[in-house]
Amino acid sequence: MQVDLCLKIFLVILGLHTVDAESYNCPSPGTPIMDDSGGHQMCAYLPNTEASWAEAHVWCNRIDEYAMLPVIGVVEQQQAIESYLSSFNNRWTQYWISGSDAYIPDEWFFYTGQGSMQVKKGYTNWNPGYPRTDGNRDCMYINIGGPAPGTWGNDNCNEKKPFLCILSPMTE
């Protein structure tokens, strides 16, 4: 039973497993958001705080042991996250997502929780001129609003930024 749940969560994260809206439950304080790629859904929670990239991961894990910063693998996930964050109409324009090249310079990985990573392949949406290689810019963020909405950038991992937690769905 536990292995089946873990497999379903993993497949939902990768976008390979869908759930219908009626049976999809997000744990509190999550909100279901649709990613428009054939009915895939995610559970999202936006804490009203800023943190470093590492602190943001820890913060998400305190809500749900499988929660993480967003892993963006397809344009539909990007659009759903953008839409959700834009709906808050707040002062922030850059939010941490789970990408980093801290382990291997210029090799971008998404931290997928519980100590695992996946190489960033396929879909990307870097802001022109990014990723920057000057300084200590090892952590990825998404621009919401501002001069380049929806694009990605990279910054020093110790910078304080707001972040979105993606929670694991509850099953019945």
Give me the domains of the chain, ranges plus CATH numbers.
47-166 (3.10.100.10)
Q: In what order do the strands lie in the sheet with 116-119?
A: 116-119, 109-113, 94-100, 139-143, 152-155
pLDDT band at 81 (very low <50, low <70, confident <90, very high): very high
What is the band of 91 on the pLDDT scale with cuts at 50, 70, 90?
confident
More confident residue, 168 or 158: 158
Inter-residue contact 110 to 98 (CB < 8 Å)? yes
Residues 108-135 pLDDT 10s = 998 877 667 777 778 899 999 999 988 8
Mean pLDDT of the 140-163 span: 94
Angstrom distance (rounded) from CA 15 to CA 38:
9
> Which residues are CB-neighbours of 26 under 8 A, at least 6 positions away?
32, 43, 44, 167, 169, 170
